Amino acid sequence: MHGFANPKRFLSLARWLTPLLLAGGLVMAGGALAWGLFVVPPDRLMGETVRIIFIHVPTAWLGMAGWSAIAVASLVYLVWRHPLAAIAARAAAVPGLVFAVICLITGSIWGRPTWGTWWVWDGRLTSMLVLAFLYVAYIALAQAADREGVSARIPAIFGLIGAVNIPIINRSVVWWNSLHQPPSITMGKSAIDAEFLVPLLIAALGFSLVFGGVVLARMRALLAERQAEARLRRKALEAI
């Protein structure tokens, strides 16, 4: 893994892996969504509204996974000072925020016919909203640190502190009396019928591949931006 902390080696890998992940993820996610929308039968209790799980559940997982990636990359940067770790954390923030927001929107759409309201200050919903705000704060902090030339340690520390919210989101439906349903998928078992579970897992894998492809693309863009800035600084010094 240390070898891939070298930007040249990383770029040589990301150059072909990025389109592969994006194309594979879009095909897989699109196929799973079509399966869930047009093939899977209506649920006995929730009827047609159950179809939103094929977007809502994967985006919820990836909203949390995005911040988990920020936390891991931040830890790697703080401990080992890998040159790409801070860039990886920053690259995961925007797609993580997008998935968290989609999760909140689809959850509200699902909640209206199911609970009779668009929003409640439920433990799961509130902690997910907090996650979206944490993403916005992290993105602003990382951009400010980069713009002002401040050490990347500050957003890295924030990334680690914000990770406290991930287990809160995960366990909120267990710890508090919640309108949100309890976990349907746990280690080694599932309460979801196979007719729904198979396309749901395929959709989750497809969205995950898209997430990985977007992160790699953003890392390449951030690296190119920094390399361009470094070349401009060198030319400015040479001109003096």
Residue 48 CA to residue 219 CA, distance in Å, equals: 39
* Cα–Cα–Cα angle for 5, 79, 60, rounded to 5 degrees: 75
Q: Which of helix, strand or coil describes residue 169?
A: helix
pLDDT digits (tens, 9 = 90+) for 115-164: 888 888 888 899 999 999 999 999 999 999 988 877 889 999 999 999 99
pLDDT digits (tens, 9 = 90+) for 94-116: 999 999 999 999 999 998 888 88
Give the domain ranges of the chain: 26-35+51-179+194-239
Task: Indicate the length of the chain as a whole number.
Answer: 240
Which of the two residues, 240 and 134, has the higher pLDDT score?
134
Residue 212 CA to residue 232 CA, distance in Å, equals: 30
